[in-house]
Amino acid sequence: MVTISRPVAMKRVYQLHVELDEVEPRVWRRLWIPDTLTMAKLDRIIQAAMGWTNSHLHEFEVDAKRYGIPDDEEISDTPTLDDRRHKVSAVLGEAISGFRYTYDFGDNWRHTVTIENRLLPDDSFNTWPVCIEGQNACPPEDVGGVGGYAEFLEAIADPSHDEHAAMWQWSGGPFDPAGFDVNATNAARRRLR
């Protein structure tokens, strides 16, 4: 006998404010996230919105629990829960007001995520993940964390800097730290399907 499962009905859309910590200029995104997504899918949505390329590990810290990709060799008092097995609705519920998201444990990109609102779903408006606004460009992958990004910005902005040409070539051309395009961000999100 074949059992056909029905999609779980959405109850909430979370309005999240995702801000990259310790970076100037300030980098943030405002997202609408359906509660039916897994935490693993939320990771991919945040990465697409911020401009990350899913080249490194990630972790969510929510209410003293950790979600990500479990490591059998991990030694920790708080084991990592498999984010593919946990829905946003179950993790964030109605009481959580914010959490931490870390991407790339080498560069250690830490994000503060604030739940700004819990909206009722509207089939004509907000039942899929979407970035509704944001500010400034995300640092390039593998730039070296907060300190490396500051050095990169200094070199890329000054044609007389010793590392200007190398940084230009490494990043693929000019880099505008104030650059953000909500349309391009949502196009990247749509490519995740």
* Domain 13-137+181-190 top-level CATH class: alpha beta
At a CB cut-off of 8 Å and minimum separation 6, what does 97 contact? 114, 115
At a CB cut-off of 8 Å and minimum separation 6, what does 86 contact? 38, 39, 67
Using a 10 angstrom Cβ sphere, with 0-12 exposed, 13-18 middle and 19 or more buried, the burial of residue 57 is middle
Three-state secondary-structure class, residue 28: strand
Does the pLDDT value for residue 106 go beyond 80?
A: yes
Q: What are the CA-CA distances from residue 146 to residues 20, 25, 77, 149, 152 (Å)?
A: 10, 11, 28, 5, 10
74 dihedral zone (left: phi>0; alpha: psi -120 to 50; beta) = beta
Q: What is the DSSP letter of 87?
A: B
What digits encode the pLDDT tens for the residues 129-185?
999 999 999 999 999 999 999 999 999 999 999 999 999 999 999 999 999 999 999
Q: DSSP string of 149-166?
A: HHHHHHHHH-TTSTTHHH
Length of the chain: 193
Q: What are the CA-CA distances from residue 93 to residues 19, 49, 57, 117, 120 (Å)?
A: 21, 23, 25, 12, 14
Q: Is 173 or 5 the better-scoring residue by pLDDT?
A: 173
For residue 90, which of 148, 185, 153, 11 has the smallest C-alpha distance?
11
Place of tokens 């829960």: 81
Task: Report the relative pairing of strands 27-34 and 58-62 from DSSP bridges.
Answer: unpaired
What digits encode the pLDDT tens for the residues 38-57?
999 999 999 999 999 999 99
Place of tokens 């995104």: 29
Domain definitions of the chain by residue range: 13-137+181-190, 138-175
pLDDT for 193 equals 62
Q: What percent of the chain has pLDDT over 90?
A: 81
